[in-house]
């Protein structure tokens, strides 16, 4: 009934660190990426090419992309909300280009305005040339869909809004999409309805779950998605993060906790949990706090 393997994108270096108030040196971010790939992660969301005025923590994007030592078979992705961001992402030599870019829209109009300063329709107009330029250069295109179950400004979001956004994303050549619960308010049935709406436009292999854990529902939501056959997920090592334009929202579900659950279910991830826990302990120590992962805590204090 459940998939036999799962692929995880660790979004810690991007989604996790974008919200940090304290400066995090580029070398620390680079070292985190290295530790994640050494732990067996095959996909890492490294940084974002957004306005440094909006998200100062990601201002070192080019330095981080330059500094990482690539491992064959690992996919490195970055966020690019517009052509300016895309051009910056490919300004470096080809070997420093991302393998995949992410355009990010929202199922909620209010969140779209707060996060990327434009309406949903306008965002799609901005993303279309980005998707086209990326594909022309052989770079994969992913679409993140925020607020697919709830919005900090509009409250509950109905599945038809997710259907609408997924259709627009498909129409501009986005190859796969993330169903994101940005503020972690979702519960299993609601998340399943958002995924169902997405599946009207994308195949099961091209839909991933991106669950923030604000209300402690993310693992349950992950299981609910697995039940539908979803086998791609995004999570954040040590449960880092949150979105700067989603006040009070905490980080993504901890990758450690997801991996512990999946391995316990006999589902393959290719990830070494002990090394992943070390990666989470490393970044947490650099930030001066404990990893926000129950599995990490339990295993480290055993
Ligand atoms: P804007 O102000 O509408 O853009 O911002 P603009 O085109 O009018 O440009 C204004 C200024 O920004 C100009 O600079 C541009 O050069 C500059 P100025 O002349 O004032 O000095 N600019 C840029 N600089 C660097 N890189 C760029 C870029 N574009 C314009 N790409 C924009 C639009 C999208 C840029 C802005 O709103 C922004 O950067 N927002 C930040 C959004 C963000 O990073 N949010 C967090 C990530 S999304 C997330 O976390 C959710 C997710 O995890 C899924 C989930 O959980 O829901 C993915
Ligand atoms: Mg997120």
State pTM to two decimals. 0.97
Mean pLDDT per 10-residue interval, the chain, length 302 residues: 97 96 96 98 98 97 98 98 98 98 98 97 98 98 98 97 98 98 97 98 98 97 98 98 76 98 98 98 95 97 92
- Would you give the distance in Å from CA 86 to the centre of its chain? 18
Q: What local confidence, expressed as pLDDT, does residue 224 receive?
A: 98
Q: Counting atoms of ligand 1 from 1, which one is nearest the CA of 48?
A: 44
Helices and strands counted in the chain (H then E): 11, 10
Contact 281, 255 (CB under 8 A): no
Name the residue among 165, 160, 127 with its Cα closest to residue 146.
165
Q: Can you tell me the distance from the alpha carbon of 48 to that of 85, in angstroms, rounded to the nearest whole number?
A: 8
In sequence order, what are the beta bridge partners of 9?
43, 234
Q: Is the CB of 18 under 6 A from ligand 1?
A: yes
Q: What local confidence, expressed as pLDDT, does residue 285 receive?
A: 97
Write phi, then psi, for 78 (nearest 5 degrees).
Answer: -140, 155
Place of tokens 């259907």: 163
Ligand 1: residue of 14, 16, 50, 253 to mutate (most ligand atoms within 8 A of CB) is 50
Q: What local confidence, expressed as pLDDT, does residue 166 receive?
A: 98
Q: Which helix (H) or strand (E) holds 199?
A: helix 188-199
Place of tokens 């270096």: 13
**ipTM reported for the complex, 2 dp:** 0.98
Q: What local confidence, expressed as pLDDT, does residue 136 receive?
A: 98
Q: How many CB atoms lie within 10 A of CB 83?
A: 13
Q: Can you tell me the distance from the alpha carbon of 30 to that of 158, in angstroms, rounded to the nearest whole number?
A: 39
- How close is the Cα of 263 to the center of ligand 2, in Å? 24
Give pLDDT tens digits for 22-47. Answer: 999 999 999 999 999 999 999 999 99
Which protein residue has the closest C-alpha to ligand 1 atom 56? 182
In sequence order, what are the beta bridge partners of 44?
10, 76
> Using alpha carbons only, how large is the chain's radius of gyration in Å?
17
Which protein residue has the closest C-alpha to ligand 1 atom 11? 51
Residues listed for the chain: 302
Contact 121, 131 (CB under 8 A): no
CA distances to 202, 224, 289 from 31, in Å: 35, 33, 18
Number of Cα atoms under 13 Å in the Cβ half of residue 182: 28
Q: Counting atoms of ligand 1 from 1, which one is nearest the CA of 243?
A: 50
- How close is the Cα of 127 to the center of ligand 2, in Å? 18
Q: Is the CB of 195 under 6 A from ligand 1?
A: no
Q: Is the CB of 115 under 6 A from ligand 1?
A: yes
Rounded to 10 degrees, what is the CA torsion of 249, 253, 239, 22?
-30
Q: Is the CB of 101 under 6 A from ligand 1?
A: no
Give pLDDT tens digits for 179-207. Answer: 999 999 999 999 999 999 999 999 999 99
- How close is the Cα of 180 to the center of ligand 2, in Å? 7
Q: What local confidence, expressed as pLDDT, does residue 247 receive?
A: 77
| End-to-end alpha carbon distance in the chain | 33
Q: Is the CB of 140 under 6 A from ligand 1?
A: no
């Amino acid at each position: 009934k459940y998939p036999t393997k799962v692929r995880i994108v660790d979004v810690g270096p991007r989604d996790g660190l974008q919200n940090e108030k304290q400066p995090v040196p580029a070398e620390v971010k680079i070292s985190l990426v290295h530790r994640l790939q050494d732990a067996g992660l095959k996909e890492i969301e490294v940084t974002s090419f957004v306005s440094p005025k909006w998200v100062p923590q990601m201002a070192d994007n080019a330095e981080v992309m330059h500094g990482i030592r690539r491992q064959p078979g690992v996919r490195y992705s970055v966020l690019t909300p517009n052509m300016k961001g895309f051009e910056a992402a490919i300004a470096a030599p080809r070997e420093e280009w991302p393998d995949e870019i992410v355009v990010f829209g929202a199922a909620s109009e209010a969140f779209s305005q707060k996060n990327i300063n434009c309406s949903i329709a306008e965002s799609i107009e901005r993303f279309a040339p980005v998707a086209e330029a990326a594909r022309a250069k052989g770079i994969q295109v992913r679409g993140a869909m925020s607020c697919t179950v709830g919005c900090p400004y509009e409250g509950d979001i109905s599945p038809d809004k997710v259907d609408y956004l997924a259709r627009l994303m498909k129409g501009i050549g986005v190859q796969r999409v993330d169903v994101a619960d940005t503020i972690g308010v979702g519960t299993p049935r609601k998340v399943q309805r958002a995924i169902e709406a997405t599946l009207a436009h994308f195949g099961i292999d091209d839909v991933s779950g991106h669950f923030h854990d604000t209300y402690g529902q993310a693992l349950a939501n992950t299981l609910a998605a697995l039940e539908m056959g979803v086998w791609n997920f995004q999570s954040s090592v040590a449960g880092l993060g949150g979105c700067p334009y989603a006040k009070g929202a905490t980080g993504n579900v901890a990758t450690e906790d997801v991996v512990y659950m999946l391995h316990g279910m006999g589902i393959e991830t290719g990830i070494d949990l002990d090394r992943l826990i070390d990666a989470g302990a490393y970044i947490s120590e650099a930030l001066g706090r404990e990893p926000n992962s129950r599995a990490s805590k339990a295993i480290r204090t055993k």
